Amino acid sequence: MMKGFYNLTSGMLSQGRRLDVVANNMTNVSTAGYKAEQYTDRTFDEVMAVRIGNKIKTPYQELPTYQAYILAPDHLYTDFTQGSFEETTLPLDFAIQGEGFFAIQMADGVAYTRAGSFTLDNEGYLCLSELGRVLDREGNPIQLPTDKLDPDSQGNLYTQGGQYLGTLGVFMFEDNQALERNPYGLFIGQGAQVNEDVTILNKWVERSNVDLVKEMVSMMATQRTLQSAAQMSQIYDEVIKRAVNDIGRLA
């Protein structure tokens, strides 16, 4: 009976976490450059529970008749596939066609993003609004005297008169799944390398890669599973109450 409670409780916690991830994806369906998250869970090996007091943990022995259905959070995977592009006509909007991220100098370090809706701060530096300044290939902030630009497809920024102003830095990583998402939706990681083989579109932004239909289907399925687990938990509770009362009367 208690094992059933553990299974149901872990299932409800897991589905609740999954629902949070789906809700966050749906909230950011219109956020430029947003990358959808995918939640996974797993059944951890209950053999560890029955052997927790043993001094000798090896050799490991499977117990095929003792199966666990208790769920535990496993990992949040980020879908880094490229989103579609949307033309904005805004002079400081940029989109990366290919692998890589823009680098943003934040107060606590450098973060990376696919969102290219930039503005100019009070000192004329290209920035991601309220988060930090955009960096060039050498890791330096880019200062622009004007927003009337004539950039090329490699990210080189020129004035309309042909004066070179800087080059947008596009950085890539060996393993994107090793990146961590910060509270602002940007990514943090080590080992960034400049990607010179990339195309940068001006006056375009990359849209979120969230599949709204897929997320809605996932949300409904998760809600049904969560409701079923909650109903089963109530049934277990009623059964235990009746068992306790009947034992009390028999005593």
Distance of CA 151 to the CA centre of its chain: 31
Q: Which amino acid is at 97?
A: Q
**Residue 133, pLDDT above cutoff 80:** yes
C-alpha to C-alpha distance for 170 and 153, rounded to whole angstroms: 12
Query: What pLDDT, on the 0 to 100 scale, is given for residue 247?
Result: 65
**Contact of 185 with 28, CB cutoff 8 Å:** yes
- In the numeric block, which tokens belong to residue 189? 């990681």
Q: Does 90 lie in the same domain as 75?
A: no
Query: What pLDDT, on the 0 to 100 scale, is given for residue 3?
Result: 56
Q: Does 111 lie in the same domain as 171?
A: yes
Q: Does 183 lie in the same domain as 89?
A: yes
Q: Does 125 lie in the same domain as 59?
A: no
Query: What pLDDT, on the 0 to 100 scale, is given for residue 105?
Result: 97
Return the higher-pLDDT residue of 55 and 18.
18
Q: Is residue 237 part of a domain?
A: no
Return the higher-pLDDT residue of 209 and 220.
209
C-alpha to C-alpha distance for 117 and 125, rounded to whole angstroms: 14
**Contact of 136 with 168, CB cutoff 8 Å:** yes
Q: Does 150 lie in the same domain as 69?
A: no
C-alpha to C-alpha distance for 13 and 153, rounded to whole angstroms: 47
Query: What pLDDT, on the 0 to 100 scale, is given for residue 49?
Result: 46
Burial class (CB in 10 A: 0-12, 13-18, 19+), 45: middle
| Number of domains observed in the structure of the chain | 2
**Residue 221, pLDDT above cutoff 90:** no
Q: Is residue 235 part of a domain?
A: no
Q: Does 90 lie in the same domain as 201?
A: yes
Q: Which domain holds residue 66?
A: 1-79
Q: Is residue 243 part of a domain?
A: no
pLDDT tens by residue, 57-84: 555 555 444 444 444 455 678 999 999 9
Distances (CA, A) of 223 to 76, 143, 186, 215, 240: 19, 49, 29, 12, 26
Q: Is residue 128 part of a domain?
A: yes
Q: Does 100 lie in the same domain as 56?
A: no
Strand, coil or helix: 243: helix
Return the higher-pLDDT residue of 54 and 204.
204
Mean pLDDT of 130-155: 95
**Residue 230, pLDDT above cutoff 90:** no
2-27 vs 212-250: helix axis angle to the nearest 10?
A: 160
Q: Does 199 lie in the same domain as 96?
A: yes
Query: What pLDDT, on the 0 to 100 scale, is given for residue 98?
Result: 93
Q: Is residue 125 part of a domain?
A: yes
Q: Does 99 lie in the same domain as 52?
A: no
**Residue 85, pLDDT above cutoff 80:** yes
- In the numeric block, which tokens belong to residue 207? 């849209």
DSSP state of 208: P
Q: Is residue 60 part of a domain?
A: yes
C-alpha to C-alpha distance for 130 and 123, rounded to whole angstroms: 13
Confidence of residue 124 (pLDDT cuts 50, 70, 90): very high
Query: What pLDDT, on the 0 to 100 scale, is given for residue 66?
Result: 43
**Residue 246, pLDDT above cutoff 60:** yes
Which residue in 36, 87, 23, 22 sits closest to 208, CA to CA? 36
pLDDT tens by residue, 27-56: 999 899 999 998 876 554 444 444 444 445
Q: Does 174 lie in the same domain as 113?
A: yes
How many CB atoms are closer than 10 A to CB 141? Answer: 18
